[in-house]
Amino acid sequence: MVLRKISGLSGMVLATSLMIGGVAMAAGTAKTQHGGQEPIPPRQSWSFAGPFGRFDPAQLQRGFEVYQKVCSACHSLNLVAFRDLASPDGPDFSEAQVKALAASYKIKDGPNDSGDMFERPGRPADHFPPPFPNKQAAAAAFGTAPPDMSDLAKARTYPRPFPLFIFDAFTQYQEQGPDYIVGIMNGYTHPNDPHYNEYFPGHKIAMPKPLSDGLVKYTDGSPETVKQYSRDVAAFLFWASEPNLDARKKMGFHVMIFLIVFAGLLYFTKKRIWANVEH
Amino acid sequence: MSGHSTYVPKSGVARWFESRLPIMGLMHSSFITFPNPRNLNYWWTFGGILAFMLLAQIVTGVILAMHYVPNSALAFDSVEHIMRDVNYGWLLRYTHANGASMFFIAVYIHILRGLYYGSYKAPREVLWILGVIIYLLMMATGFMGYVLPWGQMSFWGATVITSLFSAIPVVGNSITTWLWGGFAVGDATLNRFFSLHYLLPFMIAAVVVLHIWALHVPGSNNPTGVEVKSGKDTLPFHPYFTIKDGFALVCFLIFFAWFIFYIPNYLGHADNYIVANPLKTPPHIVPEWYYLPFYAILRSIPSKLGGVCCMFGSILLFAVLPWLDTSKVKSAAYRPLYRAFFWVFVACVIGLGYIGAMPPEGAYVTIGRILTIWYFLHLLVIIPLLGFVETPRELPASIAESVLAPKRSAVGNA
């Protein structure tokens, strides 16, 4: 009886792991888009990785600085509103700071009562205005339109060949996007070719090197280097794409504790109920 | 559903109601006193888990539909609005998106359980065929749901899959145009997919009712595959199986919650966070993981029409499985050869899933073809032949004996 149970159990474990393995394999390999030849962006350590990961407001504020001073010249951030910057689970700017920041932008509004469009100072509820009126204008200026940055950190990845993607499910590696962005920012390794990038698929990137040391002034004494800028802006972009990450992981912990305790209680109840019957 | 109800209404109002609509009696006999084989193992808990998943998908889906806009210019942003601005919208959307995957994981385990223990054989053929219909409806629902966020993979996945119908001779192109509601996947396609994505789950629910009805006529199969012979073989559904199913469900929810809260985008594609662009094809179009084995079969056949036929055939064959299997013995526990071939088949399907995710080039094509051949060989040749060549192990006389015999012999040895 016991032996039979054990063999049944081991079969179940085997089959379940096969199943999960299969799912994971499929999911992971599906991300393998560019063959295995490309160099892999180095893995960064992030404050927001793992089950207890949280965004670091100071880092997000620096990252926003980089976005505002550099990226926003070409890249839109259409899905993010000024008010989002006040989120305590995000950059945690004060409301006054957000108001002042919003007011420094000109927002196109209208039509007014006389039928004219007009410009007015931004309000916290406004979204970041795009640098170009439309995609065509951006494409005309650069040859190809720079992508919107709202979801960029979730829309970029790099191959995680077998068996790495299996481990990713257990280690909760969800930061391929920011790692890739840091890789790109540090991937301009051929000074003679401004469009060569080590980590871009095919190595030919339309965007010339955007960051250089000392380009953005930090007020908190953090190093003003490309390495630091790239990490900060990647963190900021990951927050922009996943602004509810902190809330999600906090709730996840509570849900997990509840479910595990509940499962334990159910297990002992089940044992008790079945104690008097052969099965 | 199992003989006369033993339900006795306790109050006057309940008696009044019961004599007019005996629904409480039906519930009572179906989910309280219903006799289940006492030897069911945890593989039998996935039916309940699936019922829960269907309900969870409908509830989250209905709420998401309150905020979603099925318009090709607005769909992507409306999903982002749900993710960013709707209260707990991220939770609803991640639950719904990962819920689809959980639904399929549970259904695959449920199907494999049926295959392993021969649950599809007489007298459960209709129950099994209803299951195949549910599975087909699930695939259609899942596919159309994946189109709704209108990302790159939504759009191009829809294009690839709907184009399959153009392989039909003579009328193929007309059918594809009819499906699209235009000459390419566009706004009309998105609108009808949304409409159908809302409709199909309720059709699934209806077929699930039939599925449970058809289950409650012969009752559940069990790990021995020996039918229930007397009351000694069974236990009432409540409390024995409500508590067991409940425990299994909560364990499954822990697994589910891991995905929702910690790796919500693990099973998705990064490309689907880029808004659909009909002018830019992603370098590698892949369907969701749960379709990959069939996608691999599709691509393994050199002809388009042949590929489409084999892909649909690979699923539809399951509907005739009760008549392909010639063995009188149900459970693989008593069929040593079938048991070995069963696990080879599982490995074959997982292998096909892997191939489906890989680019169709080089060795992947060859391996995909070998696995495709094996898939059909298993269903069309091996299963029918095994019934003739295999010597099954001796079956227990009854479920009760199978449960009690090892115990008695253990006592005898002591």
Q: Which of B107, B146, B152, B258 to mutate to test the interface with A (most CBs of A within 10 A)?
A: B258
| pLDDT score of A4 more than 70 | no
Rounded Cα distance, A72 and A105, in Å: 12
pLDDT tens for each residue of B84-106? 999 999 999 999 999 999 999 99
What HEC string does A9-63 produce? HHHHHHHHHHHHHHHHHHHHHHCCCCCCCCCCCCCCCCCCCCCCCCCCHHHHHHH
In a domain, A114, yes or no: no
* DSSP codes of every residue in B122-160: TT-HHHHHHHHHHHHHHHHHHHHHHHTT-BHHHHHHHHH
In a domain, A91, yes or no: no
Task: Note the pLDDT of residue B406.
Answer: 65
Kindly determine whether residue A252 and residue B265, on different chains, have CB atoms separated by under 8 Å: no
Q: Looking at the structure, do residues A174 and A218 belong to the same domain, yes or no?
A: yes
In a domain, B405, yes or no: no
Q: Looking at the structure, do residues B220 and B365 belong to the same domain, yes or no?
A: no
Q: Is B73 on the interface with A (CB under 8 A)?
A: no
Q: Which residue of A has its CA nearest to B272?
A: A155
- Chain B hits for A27, CB-CB cut-off 8 Å, are 266-267, 289
Single-letter amino acid code for the residue at B271: D
Q: Looking at the structure, do residues A165 and A260 belong to the same domain, yes or no?
A: no
Q: Is B48 on the interface with A (CB under 8 A)?
A: no
Task: Note the pLDDT of residue B367.
Answer: 97
CA distance B407 to chain A (A): 6
Structure tokens at A11: 């079969």
Neighbours of B102 (CB within 10 A): 23
Cis check: omega of the bond before A121, within 30 degrees of 0: no
Residue whose C-alpha is closest to residue B208's, from B133, B112, B125, B101: B133
A142-161 average pLDDT score:
95
User: Under DSSP, is residue B236 helix (H, G, I), strand (E, B) or coil?
Assistant: strand
In a domain, A16, yes or no: no
Q: Looking at the structure, do residues B17 and B86 belong to the same domain, yes or no?
A: no
Q: Looking at the structure, do residues B275 and B300 belong to the same domain, yes or no?
A: no
In a domain, A140, yes or no: yes
Structure tokens at A204: 């030919």
In a domain, B411, yes or no: no
Task: Provide the ipTM.
Answer: 0.93
Rounded Cα distance, B365 and B45, in Å: 37
In a domain, A113, yes or no: no
Q: What is the pLDDT along chain B (414 residues), one digit of tens a residue?
A: 445 578 999 999 999 999 999 999 999 999 999 999 999 999 999 999 999 999 999 999 999 999 999 999 999 999 999 999 999 999 999 999 999 999 999 999 999 999 999 999 999 999 999 999 999 999 999 999 999 999 999 999 999 999 999 999 999 999 999 999 999 999 999 999 999 999 999 999 999 999 999 999 999 999 999 999 999 999 999 999 999 999 999 999 999 999 999 999 999 999 999 999 999 999 889 999 999 999 999 999 999 999 999 999 999 999 999 999 999 999 999 999 999 999 999 999 999 999 999 999 999 999 999 999 999 999 999 999 999 999 999 999 999 999 887 655 554 444
Q: Is B342 on the interface with A (CB under 8 A)?
A: no
In a domain, B134, yes or no: yes
Tell me what percent of chain B is helix, strand and coil, each rounded to the nearest 5.
70, 0, 30
- Chain A hits for B240, CB-CB cut-off 8 Å, are 273-274, 277
Interhelix angle A2-30/B336-357, nearest 10 degrees: 20
Task: Note the pLDDT of residue B414.
Answer: 41
**Which of B259, B285, B311 is the last residue before a domain boundary?**
B285
Q: What angle do CA A136, A139, A141 make, to 5 degrees?
A: 110
Task: Note the pLDDT of residue B404.
Answer: 80
Kindly determine whether residue A154 and residue B270, on different chains, have CB atoms separated by under 8 Å: yes
Rounded Cα distance, B311 and B305, in Å: 10
Phi, psi dihedral angles at B11 (to 5 degrees): -110, 165
Q: What angle do CA B8, B11, B15 make, to 5 degrees?
A: 60
Domain residue limits at B326: 292-393
The residues with which A81 forms a beta bridge, in sequence order, are A127
Kindly determine whether residue A30 and residue B269, on different chains, have CB atoms separated by under 8 Å: yes
Kindly determine whether residue A270 and residue B41, on different chains, have CB atoms separated by under 8 Å: no
Task: Note the pLDDT of residue B153.
Answer: 97
Kindly determine whether residue A151 and residue B80, on different chains, have CB atoms separated by under 8 Å: yes
- Chain A hits for B349, CB-CB cut-off 8 Å, are 22
By the 8 A CB rule, do B124 and B217 touch? no
In a domain, B47, yes or no: yes
- Chain A hits for B333, CB-CB cut-off 8 Å, are none
- Chain B hits for A269, CB-CB cut-off 8 Å, are 243, 247
Domain residue limits at A260: 247-279
Round to the nearest angstrom and report the end-to-end CA distance of chain A: 10
Rounded Cα distance, B289 and A27, in Å: 6
Q: Is B94 on the interface with A (CB under 8 A)?
A: yes
What's the total number of domains in chain A? Answer: 2
| pLDDT score of A60 more than 70 | yes
Q: Which residue of A has its CA nearest to B355?
A: A26
Domain at A224, CATH number: 1.10.760.10
Q: Looking at the structure, do residues B273 and B296 belong to the same domain, yes or no?
A: no
